Amino acid sequence: MSNTRIKNLKKELLSHHRYTLNKLTFDYQLNNGEWVTQIRECYDRGNGAVILLYNKEKQTVVLTRQLRIPTYMNGNSEGLLIEACAGLLDDDNPEDCIKKETEEETGYRINHVKKVLEAYSSPGTLTEILHYFIAEYSSDMRVNKGGGAKNETEDIEVLEMPFKEAIELMKRGEIKDLKTVCLLQYAQINNIFKN
């Protein structure tokens, strides 16, 4: 970290229950040269990976639906969110992580993935960088029913749907998860369903 416009950085731990929430106080030099003191909260949950599974022959994608309590707290009446399979890296590299998460959450064992981008999730608050992948799947790759890791109390519904339906759900605002929107738009812009 070498930004000369940041100095006197102080970190105060606010919470370390599941992830780490810090209060950061620092001096920052504005574009006009003036120094100001700023206070921000910074949530560190580690980096993650996300994947869009697609089948060209069937013209389908595999998504998931699960409870996301923060969405419930912000007006999502059921708290359920449709999203692409994702997970935290923990100690894995992004490719190994997403292969493991794909099998745990969707039941598909994939061998080949393609990284398409990486991006900060919510840079105003989170430190997280997400690694975005796509991969083709077929029915014979299904090795279990998915649903998530039992020891993580996940309760994930696996959704296989036509790509066109996923795009319509996104257009109607029924898919509101940004990482999923990014991957669906990537698939649309790059015509991954064309031969």
Are 135 and 112 in contact, with CB atoms under 8 Å apart? yes
Q: Is 105 annotated as a binding residue?
A: yes
Q: Is 119 annotated as a binding residue?
A: no
Q: Which residues pair with 88 in a beta bridge?
A: 48
| Burial (Cβ within 10 Å: 0-12, 13-18, ≥19) of residue 135 | buried
Are 23 and 39 in contact, with CB atoms under 8 Å apart? yes
CA dist 98 and 104 (Å) reads 10
CA distances from 149 to 14, 55, 82, 116, 195 (A): 29, 24, 18, 26, 35
Q: Which residues are annotated as a binding site for Mg(2+)?
A: 86, 101, 105, 154
Q: Which residues are annotated as a binding site?
A: 86, 101, 105, 154
